[in-house]
Amino acid sequence: MTESSYKYLYRIDSPADLRKLSQQELVGYCDELRRFIIEQLALNPGHLGSSLGVVELTAALHYVFDTPYDKLIWDVGHQAYAHKIITGRRDSFRMNRKLNGLSGFPKMEESAYDAFGGGHASTSISAALGIATAAALRGERRHAVAVIGDGALTGGLAFEGLNNAGAANTDLLVILNDNRMAIDPNVGALKEYLLSISTSKRYNAVKNRAWAHMERTPRLRRLIQKVGNALKQGFLQQSNLFESLRFRYFGPVDGHDVGQLTRVLQDLKEIKGPKLLHVLTVKGKGYSPAERDQKIWHAPGVFNPETGELILGDIIVSVEKVIEQAEKYGHSRERELAFLIAHSMLHLCGYDHMEDAEREVMETRQREILAGEGYHR
C-alpha cells in the first residue's frame, strides 16, 4: 500500500496529532493502523497476534492520557507495536527487530514515550507503582498506567505489585488485557450499566463524600461495604480478587470499541487510588487467519497478507553441489536433488540435527519422504 491509500495514518506523527481527531476519525485511524501493521509484518516478521489485539486500546490510551508526561508501561512488551507507530516511529517501523533498527520491545533509550523497558517479566505493575509514588512525592499530577496481559498477570511479581499498590493506596491504573476471554463471562446490559455508573464522575463524587461522612459511624460504614461487596461479587464474579487487594475493579469492557474505551478511560482519570480496568480483546483482531489460529499467528514469520498463506522461507540449491555430492555418495543427481529439497523443507518445518535424538528423527523423516517418491539408496 502507498501512502496515498491511507487517509489518517500519515497525518499522525505523535499522540498530540492523534488527539486532534474526532471520535469517528479515531475509528478510521485504528482500522488503518491495523492494516499497516499487517502489511509491515507480512514482510518483516514480528509479533502479529498480540499487536493486532491492542490497536484500539493503544489508540485510546494515547488519546486520553498526556503522554509522554503520563507514563504507559507495557507487559508483555511485544504488544507495543501500535504504541511505537503512534509515537513517531511509523516510518522507521520497517526496521523493527533489525540490526540498528527499532527494538521489538519498549526501550527507554529509543523514545521518551517508552517509560520502562519490559519484555515478559510481569514487571509493569511494580514499575508503574514506582513511577506513581515518585510523582506523588514530587507533587506532580502525573498518571501511571500499567497494561498487563492475562498471562503476565500470573507472575508472582505482578501480584506483589498489586499488593503493594493497594496497601499504599497509590493513584495507579492497571489495565488487564484479557485476550483469552475466560476470566469473566459477559452477563449483558446490566454489566454495561454497572460500568457506566461506577466510572461516572458524579457517582464517584457522591460516593466519596458519603464515605467520608460515614467515618463517624464505622459500624454503618462496614455494613454498607459488606453489602456493596456482596453485590459486586454476584455481578462481577472475579472483582473480589482485585478488591481484596484494595483495587477498585471496573469492567469488563470491549477492547475493540475505541469510543467506549476513551469514555471509560477519561472517567477513570478522575478517580483517585488504585484501579483495575478489565479489557476483553481478541488476539489477531481484524485479520481472520490470525483470529482462527492464534498460536501460529502469534509470530508467524513471512506471509501473504492477501491470502494468509505462510511463507516458510527460501530454498537455494547449488547445481555444482548437487553434481559433487551425487558423485561422492554414488547415486543419481536426481536423487541428490530430491534429498536436498526434502532436507531443506524439514529444516523450514522446524526439524534439526544438532543433537543425536533430533538427528535420528529428522533422518527417519527424510528416508520416509524419499522412499515415498521412489528413491532408495
DSSP character at residue 247: P
pLDDT per residue as tens digits for the range 212-233? 666 667 666 566 655 555 555 5
Q: Is the peptide bond before 258 cis (omega within 30 degrees of 0)?
A: no
Q: Is the pLDDT reported for residue 185 higher than 50? A: no
Closest CA to 56 of 89, 88, 23: 23
- Please state the φ and ψ torsions of residue 222, each to the nearest 5 degrees: -65, -40
Share above pLDDT 90 across residues of the chain, in percent, rounded to a whole number: 60
Q: Is the pLDDT reported for residue 77 higher than 80? A: yes
Helix (H, G, I), strand (E, B) or coil at 93: helix
Closest CA to 343 of 295, 308, 375: 375
**Largest interatomic CA distance in the chain:** 97
Q: Which of 45-54, 178-187, 244-253, 261-270 has the lowest mean pLDDT?
A: 178-187
Residue 88 exposed, middle or buried by CB count within 10 Å (0-12, 13-18, 19+):
middle
Which pLDDT score, from 0 to 100, does residue 92 have? 96
- Encoded amino acid at 119, one letter: G
Domains of the chain: 3-185+237-298 (3.40.50.970), 319-372 (no CATH)
Do 176 and 150 meet the contact criterion of CB atoms below 8 Å apart? yes
